[in-house]
Amino acid sequence: MDQTGRLTVGCHLSAAKGFAAMGKTATDIDATTFAFFTRNPRGGNAKALDENDVARLREHMHEHGFGTLVAHAPYTLNLCSAKSSVVDFARRAMSEDLERMEYLPGNYYNFHPGSHVGQGADVGIRLICEGLDQVLVPGMQTTVLLETMAGKGSEVGRTFEELERIIEGCKHGDLLGVCLDTCHVWDGGYDVRSDLDGVLDEFDRIIGINRLKALHLNDSKNPRNSHKDRHEKLGEGYLGWDTFEAVVTNPRLRDLPMILETPNKLDGYATEIARLRLFADE
């Protein structure tokens, strides 16, 4: 829940106009959280940080009762690439991103664990742990979230067991959590449509429900276990509106920040947010 006791729900927003602009846009669509890329989603260097702009966002969040934000690392970062240059860049970029996130203390930094590109999951998990050990700093105020993946190609993080191995393999696992993507877990084989509580029980048994820190709410264009990762608008895919009503009313999930990554423009996000709030009886 946000600071006013309402559902903490929002969507992915463009950071092109700065931090304060994202806060205003979120409020315009009745969102009390949002996600943003920490740098160009295809990689590259981050823009210079405007501390005054960040301060204006913090003030806006306080005034409008925002909950926790869920920043997103670029898709191209791969901590377990077979190329050392790619791994080195991923570590440098994540370290820089986490330093910048300290200007927004107490929020989340979400990333895709990576793809082992033929090296095997065991090597991939080892490399991810080594990279996280390098970028996680004791005392940091940002929690780093591993995202559940759909399992396409050589993605690591396609099962709860793989995520648990990463968390347990890190020296500073206390700084790690998980972001559960409804499309990804469905495409990965978990039946969140018919057995949401069963999936959460399995998550709790393997990882621990206390590690679940945020949700990506996405319908799926594909049937369960397809391993394809193609998002759909809420209610228009294989999961359907009943799934998302179950999510926002589930006592183990309703207090978490929920981020929409559906193929929408702002008016579409506003419509989805309004319906989710209706489900939550706000």
Catalytic residues: 42, 72, 75, 112, 147, 181, 184, 216, 229, 231, 261
| Count of residues making up the chain | 282
Q: Which helix (H) or strand (E) holds 199?
A: helix 196-206
Amino acid at 27: T
Contacts of residue 114, defined as CB under 8 A and 6 or more positions apart, other chains included, come to: 77, 78, 79, 80, 81, 90, 124, 127, 128, 155, 156, 157
Task: Return the bridge partners of 9, or none.
Answer: 258
Q: Are 204 and 241 in contact (CB under 8 A)?
A: no
Give residue 234's Cα distance to chain centre: 17
Helix (H), strand (E) at residue 33:
strand 33-35
Hey, what are 48's tokens? 């210079």
**For residue 109, which phi and psi values (nearest 5 degrees)?**
-125, 110
